[in-house]
Amino acid sequence: MKILVVEEDNKIAKFIKRGLEEQGYEVDVAQGGEEGLERSLHGSYGLAILGVMLTKKDGSSLLDEMRGKKIMTPVLVVSGKNTVEDIVAGLNAGADDYLKKPFALPELVARVKALLRRVEQDRGARIYFADLRLDPVLHKVWRNEEEIDLTAKEYELLEYLVRHPNEVISRNMIADAVWEGGFDTFTNIIDVYINYLRKKIDRGHARKLIHTVRGVGYILKDEA
């Protein structure tokens, strides 16, 4: 498995490269955003790890261009920008996960393995719930045959709900499954993302699919 690391801080880049190579991964390092885009376009990578503070083309711009060019390589953003707004912006731009600096190597390795496992699990058939249809490979969603445009994290959250229909799902369960850890600071992010999904999935439809279980969490059920 080849992993692309885009990071201009040589110390951090070497730390990540050495740690992942010890786990058996092949790692390429790009020193800036432009080199990172070039490598992502022409290399075959199972995962990309992007720093945010890059010259010429910052991490956010790089990620936006990758997704705009339909490069669906899973992306783990590592950044010292740790506010909720920064995390939401990174995930909305198309990141699959967000790791705050400074981080320990075991946490990085765990995030990498979790993302790669998720990619393998996604290589399955389309999944359905009510009039929703999801394609786990292309990360596309339709309702009543109308395609719905979702960000990477919105899709991941929706797929988790669809794979657990008619079950009450707590915020901690969502944090563990979708954000790879039960972070207290993510509670409001989960609420925000549920609201994003409601606007895109349920607005304009008599049959509502995403429901709140007050004081507990959420449930996906087909209810007029």
What per-residue confidence (pLDDT) applies to 185? 47
Q: Please tell me the distance from the alpha carbon of residue 86 to that of residue 91, in angstroms, as a whole number.
A: 9
| CA gap 65, 49 in Å, rounded | 15
What distance in Å separates the CA atoms of residue 190 and residue 76, rounded to the nearest whole number? 18
The Cα 36–Cα 120 span in angstroms is 24
Look up the CATH architecture of domain 2-121. 3-Layer(aba) Sandwich (3.40)
Give the pLDDT score at 142: 93
What is the C-alpha radius of gyration for the chain, rounded to an integer number of angstroms?
18
Q: What is the mean pLDDT of each run of 10 residues along the chain (224 residues)?
A: 88 93 93 86 85 78 82 85 73 82 91 82 72 84 91 90 91 85 64 94 92 92 77
What is residue 5's predicted lDDT score, i.e. its pLDDT? 94
CATH fold of 125-223 reads Arc Repressor Mutant, subunit A (1.10.10)
Using CA atoms, how far apart are residues 10 and 122, in angstroms rounded to an integer?
33
pLDDT of residue 52: 80
**Segments making up each domain of the chain, as ranges:** 2-121, 125-223
Is pTM beyond 0.85? Reply is no
